[in-house]
Each structure stands twice: as structure tokens, then as C-alpha cells.
A and B are shown apart, each in its own frame.
Chain A
């Protein structure tokens, strides 16, 4: 079983609030990813990181921001939540090099009212 954790698992919050979704992994993986997944739709990559102090935007534009100050921690922040941010957010990590599995966390289901 993958050692990648996300908190909270479920979050219902009002419009305009600042939120941070936590993601941690204990496998020492350099590469970490955030995906957004709506029901019946593809996973879309919104952010990724190749190591400490390295972050890049993914293929899907997102108003969220990320930071990577420690190898094991890759939090995602929304400064002002809106109903359009309602979605499931999945964090993933993998070791470098081809052939290494990408592990996913259990996800955070965010609802903005």
C-alpha cells in the first residue's frame, strides 16, 4: 500500500475562504503531482514538482498554488474558494526514472458553497 496521505478527505467550505489541501508521502519520492478530477471526467494535471523548490503548472489552468519546501510535503492552496473549485483533488508521487510507479493518495473531495 502506498504511503501517501491527503487531508482533509472531505471539505465543505463557504465562498471566499482560504483553504490548504495537504499532501504528504513517506517514500522519499522526488516527483509529486496534483490532479483535479470531476465526476465522469478525466484526471487533469494542475501542478507538479520535480523536487524541493521546484513547481510547475500542469496542463489544466488552475487558480490554486503549490509549494515544495520539503521533499515529503506538497500542499495546494486556494486563496479564495469559489463554487467552480468544487471537485476532487488527487495528489500523487513517484521516484525518478522510467519504470517507477506513480502512487496516488486517497483524494480530497472539496465542496465550495
Chain B
């Protein structure tokens, strides 16, 4: 079983839609979770970083972690064509910061 599972999509939504991206993980030792956005031919950039269960909001983005069910989500409100990218979830543990990534979900927001 992979430590982080993510539906690769692709996911296509109209502009303005609410997008829900999800991952599950199996490693109970994960202490923190991240969502990265990766545009084509670019390196990933960090969107959200959470330590504990609950919600964290930043503008149009909300990250949700449920450690009891080992489930993490990213919600994008009022999605824009510029949000079209691959979204990667990751879990990590310890100060050595070795991250384990999911496969990524390809999102297309259509104008």
C-alpha cells in the first residue's frame, strides 16, 4: 500500500466552481501535511501547510486534515483558469522533513 494515495484525475470544472481535491494516507507517523501546486514544466510551489487535524484557510484555498480517518483535502473556492495545474498532496514527519508525495491530481478550470 502506498503511503499517500491520490486520485490522479483528470478533473475538469467550469470557472467559479468549488473544487475538492482529496488524499488518503496510511502512515500514522505523519506529523504535517502539505499541498503543492505544479504548473506544467515548472517545479512544485507550496500552497498550504498544516500540522494538525482541522481546517486552515488562505484566501480561496482551504486545507482540511482528518487524522482519525487519515484523510486530507484541499478546497478551492471560486476556481479560476489560472488554478489549472497539478495538485500534489504530501505528508511528512520529523525535522529531517522527508516528504512522501501522492501522484498529483490534474485540474483544468474552463473559462
Interface residues in chain A, defined as those with a beta carbon under 8 Å from any beta carbon in chain B: 2, 4, 31, 40-45, 48, 50, 58-59, 90, 92, 94, 96-99, 101-107, 109
Contacts and interface: CB of A to CB of B under 8 A. Distances in A.
Interface of B: 2, 4, 8, 31-32, 34, 36, 41-46, 49, 51, 88, 95-104
A43 B32 contact: no
Across chains A and B, which 7 residue pairs bring their CB atoms closest together, nearest first? A104-B43, A43-B101, A42-B101, A104-B44, A106-B43, A101-B46, A42-B103
A59 B101 CA distance: 12
Given A40-B103, A101-B46, 14 more contacts: A40-B8, A41-B103, A42-B2, A42-B103, A45-B98, A58-B98, A90-B44, A98-B95, A98-B97, A99-B49, A102-B46, A103-B46, A106-B42, A106-B43
Contacts of A102: 34, 46, 97, 99
Contacts of A4: 43
Contact of A59 (B88, B97, B98, B102): B98
22 contacts: A2-B45, A40-B104, A42-B101, A42-B102, A42-B104, A43-B88, A43-B99, A45-B98, A90-B43, A90-B44, A96-B95, A98-B31, A98-B32, A98-B51, A98-B95, A102-B34, A102-B46, A103-B46, A104-B43, A104-B44, A106-B41, A107-B43
A50 B98 CA distance: 11
Nearest to B44: A104
A44 B43 CA distance: 14
Residue with the highest number of chain B CB atoms closer than 10 Å, among A42, A101, A103: A42
A43 B91 CA distance: 12
Contact of A45 (B2, B8, B36, B99): B99
A106 B100 CA distance: 19
B97 A31 contact: yes
Contacts of B97: 31, 94, 98, 102
